[in-house]
Amino acid sequence: MPAQTPVHRCHYLVLGSGLAGLYFALEVADRGPVCILTKHRGESSNTQRAQGGISAVFADDDSLAQHLEDTLAVGAGLCHRPMVEVAVAEGPGLVRRLADRYGVRFDKVGNRENAPFELGREGGHSRRRVVHHRDMTGAEVERALVTAARNHPNITLLEHHMVIDLLSWTKVDGTRGCFGVYALNIASDSVEAFVAPITVLATGGAGRVYRYTSNPEVATSDGVAMAYRIGATVANLEFMQFHPTCLHHPDANTFLISEALRGEGGILRRRDGSDLMAGRHPMGSLAPRDVVAREIDAELKRSGERCVYLDMTHLDGEFLLQRFPGIHARCHTLGIDMRRDHIPVVPAAHYMCGGVVVDQHGRTDIPGLMAIGEVAMSGLHGACRLASNSLLEAVVLAAGAAKVCDDFGRGPPNKVTAWNEGAAVHSDEAVMVSANWEEVRALMWNFVGIVRSNKRLERASRRIKLIREEILEYYWRFRVTRDVLELRNISLTGHLIIECASRRHETRGLHYNIDYPQTREEFCLDTTLTKRDGPAA
């Protein structure tokens, strides 16, 4: 008989503590008890690392229509126009709410309290519309919202709780629902159940599926994998955005060099000092990320160099220190002074444009289960994300989910089946986990990266199937740990990325296949997968 599993009940169960999860929790907390589960610290998220800011229309020379058109253009034909319209319309009001209600300290012109927001510009934007806090916007957003959440009497934030799987039911008539999760309490090494009418995936991205990434260690695509396993639809996972400029240094630890530097006039150069993007795109070094990342990738393959360089030396030194203090400080510790030195940069996996399919309010196709932020595929980003539309989507979906979630919830059962670990024992073969971790990330980088081919995708598909068999055997044989659970998730998501990429016989946005170099009208649609027609879960 399995041991009794502790069961915790709340009204709103939120998985993840980035902008999306925290904002949703704060918006609904006055209506009922909220429990937030996060597998590391409350501040650990992709939001924490976001440097650029949140795109929203505030300038007199800008308009909602222009923001809409910029988003659609970068999205390469796959944006869902109604979602884009909602996001750009609601963006300004939600940015003000972050500042006024939750105390996010966005930069103001002249640092005057009543002045308008200071606006930056990033790749693909035709106007300045990026609201920011120096070059540490995400950290400031996270600071304000985590503080507010910790101080709210109706919110419980539980750190070091790694979700294993979603709890769900399917009736004879085919109706489905989600009512919570099994989670590993890492501190006590025990499995607990968390039950709620409404479960919200706010688990972030999938950067750690790749060897080189700007993402923190927590970005292991847990939400996509868990949702797929219970039958939710996922889509467009072939569109992984590679940020063109991560710091290239052995001690940099995947440090991002914000696109805002290029927005202020930074120029990408080859080792010989020539302008890398000259003649390549009308916007030069500020071209959309997919274009810039491919140009850098091609240059590195052509030249054999290990990086290219970002030149800021022609700009005012005092301005650079005030606008980019965090980036300057990090570079300076490595012996790089952006006022005098070129910054060595390379592309790295950065943002997942696909995810769990949702509507404009974050509702998945499984009642009781919502998805918001990077884990979701709302249609805002299409085949390529416009810079700083990520935090915008997070807050727009969180706000939308908070409005409709009570009608979308499903009553959980009175009893929950106890977690049964069967004959599982503690592992004495941890080397298998670390070896498979490295192999998954290496094959994804080498065969499913910035540039793809049919042969590379076929090889990746064959290998990921074998790796997943080894991982699943390990999963059932040994007691669960965070490393094993994350490995299980990244290998499944990697398989889903490969499958989506293999089904798209064209080049579009972030998906570049040398065997199908043209964009084809018949593929102007989303690549959707479920357990019924995709890889085994």
Residue ranges, comma separated, of all CATH 1.20.58.100 domains in the chain are 430-518
Going 322 to 325 to 327 to 329, the CA torsion angle's sign is positive
pLDDT tens string 356-367: 999 999 999 999
- Crossing angle (nearest 10°) for helices 19-28 and 137-151: 30
Percent above pLDDT 90 for the chain:
82
Q: Left if phi > 0, otherwise alpha if psi is -120 to 50, otherwise beta: which for 53?
A: left
**Residue 150 catalytic?**
no
What is the rounded average pLDDT for all residues in the chain?
94
Q: Which CATH number fits domain 1-239+353-414: 1.10.1520.10, 3.40.190.10, 3.50.50.60, 3.40.50.300?
A: 3.50.50.60
CATH dotted code for 259-349: 3.90.700.10
Q: Which pLDDT does position 76 carry in this prediction?
A: 96
Residue environment code for 59-68, b if the CB has 16+ CB neighbours within 10 A, otherwise e: eeebeeebbb
Q: Tell me the three state secondary structure of residue 191.
A: strand
Please identify which of the residues 129, 208, 269, 289 carries the catalytic annotation: 289
Q: Give 417: exposed, middle or buried? Use CB within 10 Å, 0-12, 13-18, 19+.
A: exposed
Query: What pLDDT, in 10s, does the model give residues 479-494?
Result: 889 999 999 999 999 9
- Among residues 375, 121, 328, 401, which one has the least CA distance to residue 232? 375
The token duo for 318 is: 């005092």
pLDDT value of residue 2: 52
CB 194 within 8 A of CB 157: no
Nearest residue to 494 (alpha-carbon basis) of 215, 240, 216: 240
The whole-angstrom separation of Cα 245 and Cα 308 is 9
> CA-to-CA distance for 455 and 10, rounded, in angstroms?
49
Which CATH topology does 430-518 take? Methane Monooxygenase Hydroxylase; Chain G, domain 1 (1.20.58)
**Quick one: which of 492, 440, 431 has its CA closest to 211?**
440
CA 39 vs. chain centroid, Å, equals 16
- Ranges in the chain annotated CATH 3.50.50.60: 1-239+353-414
The CA distance from 121 to 124, in Å, is 9
In the predicted structure, residue 3 carries a pLDDT above the cut 80: no
Query: What would the pLDDT profile of 287-346 be if each residue is shown by its tens digit?
Result: 988 899 999 999 998 999 999 999 999 999 999 999 999 999 999 999 999 999 999 999
DSSP state of 270: -
CATH 3.90.700.10 location in the chain: 259-349
12 pLDDT above the threshold of 50: yes
User: What are 428-483's pLDDT values in tens digits?
Assistant: 667 778 889 999 999 999 999 999 999 999 999 999 999 999 998 888 888 889 99
Q: Is 168 helix (H, G, I), strand (E, B) or coil?
A: strand
Distance CA 139, CA 49 (A): 6
Closest CA to 46 of 349, 360, 461: 349
